[in-house]
Amino acid sequence: MTYQNYSLAQLRQADAAHHLHPFTDHKDLRAAGSRIVSRADGPFVYDMDGNEILDGMAGLWCVNVGYGRDELAEAAFEQMRELPYYNSFFRCSTPTPVLLAKKLAEIAPDGLNQVFYGSSGSEANDTALRLVRHYWALEGRPEKNRVISRDWAYHGSTIAGTSLGGMAAMHHQLHGAVPNIVHVMPPYAYELAEAGESDEQFGLRAARALEEAILEAGPDTVAAFIGEPVMGAGGVKIPPASYWPEIQRICRKYDVLLMLDEVITGYGRTGAWFAAQSMGIEPDTITTAKALTSGYQPLSALLVGDRIATALVEKGGEFFHGYTYSGHPVACAVALKNLEIIEREGLIERVRDETGPYLGQALREKLGDHDLVGEVRGFGLLAAVEIVKDKKTKTRFDPVGRAAGLVRDHAIANGLMMRAVNDTMILSPPLIWTKETIDMACERIAKALDLARRDLQGA
Ligand code: PMP
């Protein structure tokens, strides 16, 4: 591998000189230098400083089958030799995207039988937004084009993805969002439930914010609602059980399409192929990416429901949309093999019956009593730990993000990769984690919490 001709110092220097990283304060990065991860195996990544780090984030919520899977490399190699690329425009197709679409229709919730490919979650959400608007136009109702989303949602970083998302800092840099997208409150009970309000009541109230927004806009102008079943990048915000059934009821009542963004929750993370199945949601579209290939290749698949697909087929007329790499044969070959591994190894059942319940329980038992921990929550292999100054009043440390940032830095220094979103610590490990791996992670988090508490003394 050519990088081995370079020292770590040379790579860092070239990184600083030429590489603009995503979601980065470039001034800070120049001062601190980057961590260069050069290899990985199973649940661990290895950086060039010689550290072995347990990857509590599965890369970026994507490496569901873990690292070092030769089978995926072989699938890519064979496909590249046979046919590295051909497009699926102009009435052409190649075999692997066809077979993958067939497979996705089998594992998807009932009624989602068509697939539109892209290379990233952001692209898939751009497709989804254009598709739902196109659908209503085909139905002769072009004015039904507003989309309702939520504060704190993350739907990607393209202009449509950012517009759909509800991240204030990202909107601030947008200088003009895609029109006709509005945001309502997220189902984040820890901060937004009122005193004495039960989880169930809060879930209904949060869902009814959608109804209010539909009524305010006028149901005839609302195309769709979009949401992550569990908000991921916004801080693993897990909705109360009452939330999604009420959202579904409201969407049906006003004939508003339901778009799920399962870029994080898809392909096993919640103990089913899709969170729609774990939570009993019946969406019109599901955006997926990341773990579709376990991150071994860039690929996204927008799963499209029969209602929309039927309109496309019956009404006809070109849908002027697509990407050079829609249905990339190599990425689709890797995805097929990846889904085969998930099935063969029973990874979804393991999350559903064993590691999913255990992750939440272990974090609660081992960390719940710590002075800095305000709440622990988990759903499948997604978990969050709220960091607070005062458990009773839920007061945070000042400034926002400092305390969880310290916990994160200590966790990484102690061999566990995890992330902080403001003052929420989050985990999204590979599905290959066992109970023993979860115990190892809990020990490392406990140590990081102790070290952070020491740093924060007097803060
Ligand atoms: N939707 C969700 C829910 C995501 O978490 C992400 C990425 N973290 C995206 C969309 C965007 O995906 P990508 O970064 O592949 O464009």
Ligand 1, atom nearest to 60 Cα: 8
From 290, 292, 325, the mutation candidate for ligand 1 (largest count of ligand atoms within 8 A of CB) is 290
- Residue 2: the pLDDT is 79
Q: How far is the CA of 7 from the centre of ligand 1 (A)?
A: 33
Cβ 263 under 6 angstroms from ligand 1 = yes
Ligand 1 in reach of 156 Cβ (< 6 A): yes
The per-residue pLDDT for 1 is: 61
| Best probe residue, ligand 1, of 23, 155, 293 (max atoms within 8 Å of C-beta) | 155
329-344 helix and 95-107 helix, angle to the nearest 10 degrees: 40
Output the residue whose Cα is nearest ligand 1's atom 12.
121
CA dist 364 and 402 (Å) reads: 23
pLDDT, tens only, 131-187: 999 999 999 999 999 999 999 999 999 999 999 999 999 999 999 999 999 999 999
Atom of ligand 1 nearest to the CA of 289: 15
φ and ψ at residue 180, rounded to 5 degrees: 65, 40
Tell me if 289 CB under 6 Å of ligand 1.
yes
Does the beta carbon of 232 lie inside 6 Å of ligand 1?
yes
Q: What is the pLDDT of residue 458?
A: 80
Bridge partners of 424, per DSSP, are: 386, 421
228 CA closest ligand 1 atom index? 3
Nearest CA to ligand 1 atom 13: 121
Instruction: Specify the ligand 1 atom closest to the Cα of 232.
Output: 5
Rounded to whole angstroms, the Cα distance separating 286 from 279 reads 14
Nearest CA to ligand 1 atom 3: 263
What pLDDT is recorded for position 3?
87
Structural domains in the chain plus CATH codes: 35-65+346-456 (3.90.1150.10), 71-344 (3.40.640.10)
Do residues 58 and 437 touch, judged by C-beta distance below 8 A?
Answer: no
Closest residue to atom 7 of ligand 1, CA basis: 156
Regions of the chain with pLDDT less than 70: 1
262 pocket-lining for ligand 1 (C-beta < 6 Å): no
Give residue 231's region: left, alpha or beta (phi > 0; psi -120 to 50).
beta
Interacting residues of 448 by C-beta distance below 8 A, sequence separation 6+ = 407, 408, 410, 411, 413, 414, 416
* CA 289 to ligand 1 centroid distance, Å: 8
Atom of ligand 1 at shortest distance to CA of 265?
3
Query: 23, 64, 119, 122: which to mutate for ligand 1, most atoms within 8 A of CB?
Result: 122
Q: Is 122 in the pocket of ligand 1 (CB under 6 A)?
A: yes
